[in-house]
Structure 1
Amino acid sequence: MMRRLIWAGAFLIGLAGGAGAQQLSVRSGEHDGFSRLVIPYPRGTKWTIEDGDGGISLRASGGSFTYDIRDVFRLIPRNRILSVVAGTDNNTLFIKTGEKIRSKAYQLDGGQVVIDFADAEAAPPDDVQSAGRIGIPEHLDLLWKNHLPLEDADAIAQTGSPLGENPPDGSARVSAAERQLLESLSRAASQGLISVDPTRKIPKPATGSPLAEGDSPDDGSLPIPLRSETVYDRDLDQENAHPRLLINGQSCLPDDRFAVENWVTDAPPTDQLAERQNGLIGEFDRPDPAAVERLARLYIALGFGAEAKATLAAFDIGGATARPLVYMADVIDGIPTPPDEPISHMAACDGKVALWAFMGGGLPADAGQIDVTAIQSSYSALPPQIRDILGPVLVERFLKIGQPDAAEAIRNALRRTSSVENTPLAIAQAQLLLASGQPLAAEESLSAAPVRNDLNSAQSLVLSVEARLMRGQAIDRKTRDDIAAQMHQTGASELGQRLRRALILAEGSVGGFDNAFDILAGWPQEGLDDLRDQTLGDLIAQLGRVPDDLIFVRQMFTHRQVLQAAPLPAALRISLADRLSGLGFSAAAADILTATVRQTATGRLALARAAIAERDGAAALAHLDGLDGEAAAQLRAQAYLALGEHANAAALFRVLGDEQETARAAWRGASWDIVKDHGSDIERAVIEDATADNASDPIPTGPISRANALITRSQEERALLDRLLTAY
Structure 2
Amino acid sequence: MKRIGFLIAVLVMAASAVTAQDVVVRSGEHDGFTRLVFDVPPDTRWVLAQRKNGASLTIALDDVTFKTSSVFGRLTTNRLASLSQENPGSALELEFGCDCVASAFLYRNSMIVLDIAPGELLPPLLENVPPPLIGKTAEGKPPSVETGLHLPLLTMTEQGIKDQLSTRLLQGTDRKLLDLKLAPVGPRNTAPSGTSVVPPRLRSNVRLTTVLDDLQNVLNAELQPIDHRPACISTAEMNFASWSGDTPIPDQVSALRSGLYKEFDKLDGEKAMNLAKLYASFGFGAEALSVFRLLETPPEGFEPVAAIARVVDNRPPLPRNPFNDLQRCDSDAALWAVLSEGELAPDANVEAIENAYSRLPDHLRRQLGPRLSELLVSAQQLEAARRILRSVDRIEPETISSVAQAKASVAKAEGDSDREEELLTEVITSTDAATESPLALARLVEKRWSERKAVSSQELDLAASYAVEFRRSELGAMMNRTYAIALSLSQEFDRAFDVIEAQPPGPDSDGAINRHLQLLAERSDDATFLRQTMEVMQPDMTAVLTTDTAIALASRLADLGFAQQTFALANKPEDPSRRSDRARLRARAALLSGRPHQALLELADDNSAKAIALRAQAMVSTEDFAAAGDMLRDLEQNEAANRYFWLAGVSDKRLEPAGGKYAALNQMTQALSDLPERLAEKPLADAENLLKDSQSARQRIDEMLNAVGVK
Q: TM-score range by the shorter chain?
A: 0.5 to 0.7
Partner of 1:361: 341
Partner of 2:708: 724
- Residue 719 to residue 488, structure 1, CA distance change in 2 (3 Å): same
In 1: Cα distance, 2:79 partner to 2:472 partner = 42
In 1: Cα distance, 2:421 partner to 2:630 partner = 58
User: Letter of the aligned partner of 1:566 in structure 2?
Assistant: V
User: Letter of the aligned partner of 1:591 in structure 2?
Assistant: A
Residue 583 of structure 1 pairs with residue 563 of structure 2: no
Q: What SS does structure 1 have at the residue aligned with 2:115?
A: coil
Partner of 1:174: none
In 2: Cα distance, 1:451 partner to 1:580 partner = 47
Residue 321 of structure 1 pairs with residue 298 of structure 2: no
Q: CA deviation at 1:455?
A: 1.9
Q: CA deviation at 1:643?
A: 3.9
* Equivalent in 473, 480, 485 of residue 505 of structure 1: 485
Residue 408 of structure 1 pairs with residue 386 of structure 2: yes
The normalised TM-score by structure 2 is 0.60
Residue 438 of structure 1 pairs with residue 416 of structure 2: yes
Aligned length: 522
Q: CA deviation at 1:397?
A: 0.9
| 1:539-550 alignment runs, 5 A limit | 539-546=516-523, 548-550=525-527
* Equivalent in 79, 100, 115 of residue 151 of structure 1: 115
In 2: Cα distance, 1:590 partner to 1:409 partner = 52
Identity of aligned residues (%): 23
Q: CA deviation at 1:504?
A: 4.1
Residue 259 of structure 1 pairs with residue 240 of structure 2: yes
| 1:554-633 alignment runs, 5 A limit | 554-557=531-534, 558-559=536-537, 561-562=539-540, 564-566=542-544, 568-569=546-547, 573-594=550-571, 596=573, 603-613=582-592, 616-618=594-596, 620=598, 623-624=601-602, 629=607
Q: What SS does structure 2 have at the residue aligned with 1:348?
A: coil
Query: Larger RCO: Structure 1 or Structure 2 (Cα < 8 Å, ≥ 6 residues apart)?
Result: 1
In 2: Cα distance, 1:137 partner to 1:424 partner = 48
Partner of 1:219: 190
Q: CA deviation at 1:309?
A: 1.4
Q: What SS does structure 2 have at the residue aligned with 1:151?
A: strand
In 2: Cα distance, 1:639 partner to 1:610 partner = 12
In 2: Cα distance, 1:625 partner to 1:445 partner = 48
Q: CA deviation at 1:248?
A: 1.2
In 2: Cα distance, 1:622 partner to 1:712 partner = 43
Partner of 1:417: 395
Partner of 1:458: 438
- Residue 309 to residue 721, structure 1, CA distance change in 2 (3 Å): same
Q: What SS does structure 1 have at the residue aligned with 2:323?
A: helix
Partner of 1:667: 646
User: Letter of the aligned partner of 2:588 in structure 1?
Assistant: R
Partner of 1:391: 369
* CA offset digits 1:598-626 (Å, max 9, x no partner): 99775444222123245x25564575596
In 2: Cα distance, 1:624 partner to 1:583 partner = 21
User: Letter of the aligned partner of 1:375 in structure 2?
Assistant: I
- Residue 284 to residue 577, structure 1, CA distance change in 2 (3 Å): same
Partner of 1:298: 278
| 1:360-379 alignment runs, 5 A limit | 360-366=340-346, 368=347, 370-379=348-357
* CA offset digits 1:610-660 (Å, max 9, x no partner): 23245x255645755966746655434322322444355446556777543
Q: CA deviation at 1:511?
A: 3.4
Partner of 2:229: 248
In 2: Cα distance, 1:722 partner to 1:266 partner = 101
Contact 1:423-1:460 within 8 A present in 2 as well = no
Q: CA deviation at 1:290?
A: 2.9
In 2: Cα distance, 1:606 partner to 1:343 partner = 50
In 2: Cα distance, 1:252 partner to 1:548 partner = 62
Unpaired runs of 5+ in structure 2? 1-26, 32-71, 86-91, 97-101, 128-171, 181-186, 193-225, 677-693
* CA offset digits 1:388-426 (Å, max 9, x no partner): 221111111112222222211211111111123322321
Contact 1:621-1:636 within 8 A present in 2 as well = yes
- Residue 258 to residue 508, structure 1, CA distance change in 2 (3 Å): farther
Q: CA deviation at 1:336?
A: 0.9
Contact 1:439-1:471 within 8 A present in 2 as well = no
Contact 2:603-2:615 within 8 A present in 1 as well = no
Partner of 1:38: none
Contact 1:344-1:361 within 8 A present in 2 as well = yes
User: Letter of the aligned partner of 1:277 in structure 2?
Assistant: R
- Residue 454 to residue 276, structure 1, CA distance change in 2 (3 Å): farther
* CA offset digits 1:347-387 (Å, max 9, x no partner): 22222222111101253541x2x222221122122222222
Q: CA deviation at 1:493?
A: 7.0
In 1: Cα distance, 2:95 partner to 2:241 partner = 37
| 1:43-54 alignment runs, 5 A limit | none
- Residue 441 to residue 717, structure 1, CA distance change in 2 (3 Å): same
Point out the structure with max Rg over C-alpha.
Answer: 2
Partner of 1:637: 616
Deviates more, 1:492-501 or 1:600-609: 492-501
| 1:228-239 alignment runs, 5 A limit | none
Partner of 1:14: none
In 2: Cα distance, 1:128 partner to 1:576 partner = 45
Partner of 1:277: 257
Contact 1:273-1:295 within 8 A present in 2 as well = yes
In 2: Cα distance, 1:518 partner to 1:145 partner = 65
In 2: Cα distance, 1:289 partner to 1:387 partner = 29
Q: What SS does structure 1 have at the residue aligned with 2:523?
A: coil
In 2: Cα distance, 1:517 partner to 1:713 partner = 63
User: Letter of the aligned partner of 1:682 in structure 2?
Assistant: K
* CA offset digits 1:109-167 (Å, max 9, x no partner): xxxxxxx999xxxx9744998466995599x99xx999754232777xx98x9xx999x
- Residue 452 to residue 350, structure 1, CA distance change in 2 (3 Å): same
Q: For the aligned residues, what is the CA RMSD?
A: 5.1
User: Letter of the aligned partner of 1:590 in structure 2?
Assistant: F
Residue 482 of structure 1 pairs with residue 453 of structure 2: no
User: Letter of the aligned partner of 1:473 in structure 2?
Assistant: K
In 2: Cα distance, 1:541 partner to 1:33 partner = 44
In 2: Cα distance, 1:651 partner to 1:430 partner = 53
Residue 335 of structure 1 pairs with residue 315 of structure 2: yes
Contact 1:483-1:502 within 8 A present in 2 as well = yes
Contact 1:306-1:329 within 8 A present in 2 as well = yes
Unpaired runs of 5+ in structure 1? 1-29, 35-115, 169-202, 222-244, 696-709
Contact 2:600-2:618 within 8 A present in 1 as well = no
Partner of 1:310: 290
User: Letter of the aligned partner of 2:573 in structure 1?
Assistant: T
In 2: Cα distance, 1:464 partner to 1:665 partner = 52
In 2: Cα distance, 1:131 partner to 1:517 partner = 55
Contact 1:686-1:721 within 8 A present in 2 as well = no
